[in-house]
A = this chain, B = another copy of it.
């Protein structure tokens, strides 16, 4: 459990950095970039918890998340060029992050007593809605609607976690397998520029 908590803080830190850097080419000042990092980091979990009436919200009940975000934003301020050059590394961290937060989101929803179908949606929301809210606020087409396979990878991983859990697989194995599937789908889709068919 301690490892999981540490990973949640690290994931929040990474999401805050990538959120703050996401507006580099825009007109944002430092405050706007920090705000964007904040929204990216907390948006998904906040939406999940509001939909499920689970209070206090994680970042309101535990101040460490706010400090993880502040650290991430400050890092983005001090080392923007370094961090931007590490774009590939960051993409990897971000992908690890969405895998991790998807599965944790599924587990949290289940622990609040909802049906597995709902838990799968909540897992996906935890991982991707921070970015969706960020993109909406900054007038971008949300990443969800762009061509790359992104939220659908999370949804697939969430469903697999639920199926394996139903089949009785031990939690730690299940976490690793489901996360790996999300991460693999995303990496393979990016590498080979795969995308889902369009509606036409």
Contact = CB atoms under 8 A, between A and B. Distances in A.
Interface string A129-140: 000100011111
The oligomer's copy count stands at 3
Interface of A: 20-21, 23-24, 26-33, 35-36, 46, 50-53, 55-57, 59-60, 63, 66, 76-77, 80, 114-115, 117-118, 121, 132, 136-142, 144-147, 149, 151-152, 155, 195-200
A144 B118 CA distance: 29
A145 B66 contact: no
A147 B196 contact: no
A53 B55 contact: yes
A137 to B, nearest CB: 6
Contact of A23 (B57, B138, B197, B199): B199
